[in-house]
Structure 1
Amino acid sequence: MSGVNQSPGVVVVSKFISFNSKTFSSYIDYMDREEAKRNKSFNRYSLYNDYMGNPKKTTGLFNKDTDLMNDNEKLDAKELFVKAQKNKSILWQDVFSFDNKWLEKQGLYNPRTKELDEKKVKDAVRKSIGFAVEKKCIAETCVWNGAIHFNTDNIHVHVAICEPNPTIQRGKRTQKTLDIMKSKFVNELLDSKENFLDINNIIRKDIVDSKKNSKIKEDKKLKELTRNVIRNLPKDKRHWHYGYNTMNDAKKYLDEMTKYYIDTYKKDEFKELILKLDKQEDVFKETYGVGQRSKFKDYKENKIDELYKRMGNAFLTEIKAYIKREDELDKIVNQKKINKLYSNKSSKLIISKKELKNIEKALSNEFDSIKNMDYYQRLQYKIDNGINI
């Protein structure tokens, strides 16, 4: 394929061995066999670290916190690895290998001076290994160190991980974990997160959020499509979300709204989004290799789907607010109708002469009763005080 590397720019391989394994993984094949012959005890863990720090093959060991471990730090690390083997820990071995031409193209390697941006490579390793040990729940119990090697045609990084006091006995990682490890490594290495951020900003801010500030409320086409959405909404308001299956009838009109809105108001922003998505797809092709198209083929489509989903939900938010306002107005109107109805009934209320006479009689009797009570109280007062009646 023209313009695209047939082989991947980055390869990440992960394996593990048990403390008593009789066979070495492909990583151990890199070790210095002459040194292995001299080492009668053949301690794999310490030997691996000796190889990792071999100055003829690497610029030195690094770990989670240090870019270049000193002699004391290396000695401490070796003792921890020996302790890990004695305590029957698993030894995880990871290799991050590069196509040097890919490194050159990304501005990470100068083939003339043989200079590599080691800081960036080490930080990318930290990001990847950090995820791996978190996923295994050994971030607080493991130790690891790594080394960049230049002794082959492809620059590569070896990493060794173990637990001095083991907490788990299963070393296998899932394919999903391995894929994410590589993704985090590549994204950190290429600062792809910046491109991702640009893509997300275009989707969320430049296209979706800016709709709130745009003068489209009088757009007749959008009004028509909005009415079509409302007519096809499911009865249950809890289902008024773009992703619900019950929204399928309304969703086609929401998608039409999004397409019309983009074509009419956000054509330039959408064009910029497509350019950035294509650029990111090219990076994926060169990084993962054309044979791994499944790793990136859906990225562009997924991002466009995400845009339509966000736009759909944004339109639905406005539709919900509109319907809520209409419901409240209906309640006010209905209440006014009810009040008017009662008011009309009151004004037409007719009391017969007989009913009026009965009311007057009852009031008169009650008044007489009060007067009589008052008279009785005055009479009792005179008797009690010896006053002549």
Structure 2
Amino acid sequence: MSSPGVIDSTKFVSATSQGFQSYLDYMNRPEAVRTNAYDWYNVAMDDLKESNFDTYNYYMSNPEKTSALFSDAHDFLTPEQMEQMIDLFKQAQESRSLMWQHVVSFDNAWLEKHGRYDPLTHSLDEEVVMNGTRSAMKELIHNEGMEGAVWTAAIHYNTDNIHVHIAMVEPEPTRKKYYPLDKNGNRLYSKETGEVIWDYKGKLHQKNLERIKSQVASAIADQSEMLAKINDLSRQQVGNRDSLYHALRHDRQLQKAYDKIYHQLPSNRQLWKYNNNALNAIRPLMEQFIDDYIEHYRSDEFKHLNEALDHAVFFYKETYGESRYDDFKESKLNALEASLGNGLLKDMNEFYKANQTQAKLLVKYPNYPHSFHSRGRSLNHLNAAFEKSYHEQKNLRDYERMKEEMEYENNAEY
């Protein structure tokens, strides 16, 4: 299988580490020198170096050139803006903030496929990459509760893999403190100062780190049309509950299956949720009901939905190369099934309430025409029966009173 379109790596270092100071020195250097100094400041790739040197060389070899440093607000940091950013990084260092370094690396063929890179001219759509980086960092900072964090980044070019390096600090640290312990569980003390040894916790939530990669990838390969198509097919077409109800009113086989399910439901209607364990015994009947409905009324739309989901799975695997996308299609189809199942149960709940209403009014108005007492599946059906009966009655007041009672009873909880 080919290399993933996007990979990433993240690491953090303490304020007293050489890695932190190296990055400050790196920021102070001219662009050409920053390119040559790329390897020695880039601690985010240490794990790759140590665990698999060949992988490190393939993905992260020294770039042929480096873009200007950019930030959340600027595509190109002027000398004055650079000085301000350096001051913020120094403030963070003095406050003992950690430095987080992220590397997001691309397979150039993947960039080319999505129209962001020209291998002949070696030109990259830097604006899209920078904006994707901004979206990713904005979300990461918000999700981690680090609203005061600042960062700088640069795009690094090489023959095989263009990548973005990002460094982030907190001028005013917000992370919780971490106190290392000895083998007896006691806090450690500095031999030089006698003070308790501590540092800020640097681990970020894995799901937030994964979002860095997906946010950048989304900016480069717009998925909105793909996801909108899946949403429309699953919710508005195959999963349209109004269409389900319409089919139910006119299909005797579905009505028969409906009645079989209805009479096996537990008496407690609070349990009438499709994925509730209380319905495990009859869920196969509901699954068969949904399958039959789709086969007879939504087969073309369901075919298109499966094709759209297969396309999405291919895109995710090509982009991220992660097995967790294997169940993307399955989870979407399960959600569709649950939606239709809950629609079915909702209709059954209305059917139950309508029957209760009819039973009560039958006792109160035993002589009312048979068309009113006929079986209906919803308030709309009962109203239609009422309208028919109205033309057969001379007493409008009696009719209106009965209709009001019916609507009140139907909306009451049983």
Is the pair's TM-score, using the shorter chain for normalization, greater than 0.5? Answer: yes
Distance 1:51 1:133 in 2: 27
Q: Is the 8 A contact 1:52 1:146 kept in 2?
A: no
**1:49 alignment partner, one of 7, 11, 27:** 27
> Is 2:303 the counterpart of 1:271?
yes
> Is 2:334 the counterpart of 1:334?
no
Greater Cα shift, 85-94 or 59-68: 59-68
Distance 1:259 1:230 in 2: 17
CA RMSD of superposed structures (Å) = 2.3
Letter in 2 for 1:299: F
Shift in CA distance, 205/310, structure 1 to aligned 2, threshold 3 Å: same
Shift of 1:227: 0.7
Letter in 2 for 1:272: H
SS in structure 2 at match of 1:61: coil
Letter in 1 for 2:71: N
The residue that corresponds to 1:103 in the other structure is 111
The residue that corresponds to 1:131 in the other structure is 139
**1:285 alignment partner, one of 301, 313, 317:** 317
Gap runs ≥5 in structure 2: 36-64, 176-199, 369-414
> Is 2:201 the counterpart of 1:170?
yes
- 1:10-68 CA-to-partner distances (Å, cap 9, x unmatched) read 1111111010125x4xxx8xxxxxxxxxxxxxx33422424695576322122222233
Distance 1:228 1:279 in 2: 38
Shift in CA distance, 268/225, structure 1 to aligned 2, threshold 3 Å: same
The residue that corresponds to 1:62 in the other structure is 70
Shift in CA distance, 138/152, structure 1 to aligned 2, threshold 3 Å: farther
Greater Cα shift, 113-122 or 170-179: 170-179
Matches within 5 A, 1:342-357: none
Shift in CA distance, 337/10, structure 1 to aligned 2, threshold 3 Å: same
Shift in CA distance, 152/44, structure 1 to aligned 2, threshold 3 Å: farther
> Is 2:204 the counterpart of 1:186?
no
Matches within 5 A, 1:82-101: 82-101=90-109
The residue that corresponds to 1:198 in the other structure is 229
Gap runs ≥5 in structure 1: 29-42, 340-389
Distance 1:211 1:264 in 2: 15
Q: Is the 8 A contact 1:52 1:158 kept in 2?
A: no
Distance 1:303 1:52 in 2: 50
Distance 1:92 1:227 in 2: 60
**2:345 alignment partner, one of 298, 316, 328:** 316
Letter in 2 for 1:117: D
The residue that corresponds to 2:43 in the other structure is none
Distance 2:8 2:29 in 1: 20
Higher RCO (Cα < 8 Å, 6 or more apart):
1
SS in structure 1 at match of 2:267: coil
The residue that corresponds to 1:78 in the other structure is 86
Q: Is the 8 A contact 1:146 1:159 kept in 2?
A: yes
Shift of 1:152: 5.7
Letter in 2 for 1:138: M
Distance 2:278 2:31 in 1: 61
What percentage of aligned pairs have identical amino acids?
33
How does the TM-score come out when normalised to structure 1?
0.75
- 1:288-328 CA-to-partner distances (Å, cap 9, x unmatched) read 22xx32x2111011111111011111111212112111111
Letter in 2 for 1:44: S
Highest CA radius of gyration, 1 or 2? Answer: 1
Shift of 1:337: 5.4
Distance 1:318 1:214 in 2: 8
Shift of 1:237: 0.5
Letter in 2 for 1:155: I
**1:145 alignment partner, one of 144, 152, 157:** 152
Distance 2:80 2:257 in 1: 71
Shift in CA distance, 256/202, structure 1 to aligned 2, threshold 3 Å: same
The residue that corresponds to 2:286 in the other structure is 254
> Is 2:274 the counterpart of 1:242?
yes
Shift in CA distance, 51/325, structure 1 to aligned 2, threshold 3 Å: farther
Distance 2:144 2:30 in 1: 24
Distance 1:260 1:163 in 2: 57
Distance 1:50 1:336 in 2: 90
- 1:350-377 CA-to-partner distances (Å, cap 9, x unmatched) read xxxxxxxxxxxxxxxxxxxxxxxxxxxx
Q: Is the 8 A contact 1:233 1:249 kept in 2?
A: no
What is the number of residues matched between the two proteins?
313
Shift of 1:241: 0.9
How does the TM-score come out when normalised to structure 2?
0.71
The residue that corresponds to 1:354 in the other structure is none
The residue that corresponds to 1:382 in the other structure is none
Q: Is the 8 A contact 1:12 1:182 kept in 2?
A: yes
The residue that corresponds to 1:380 in the other structure is none
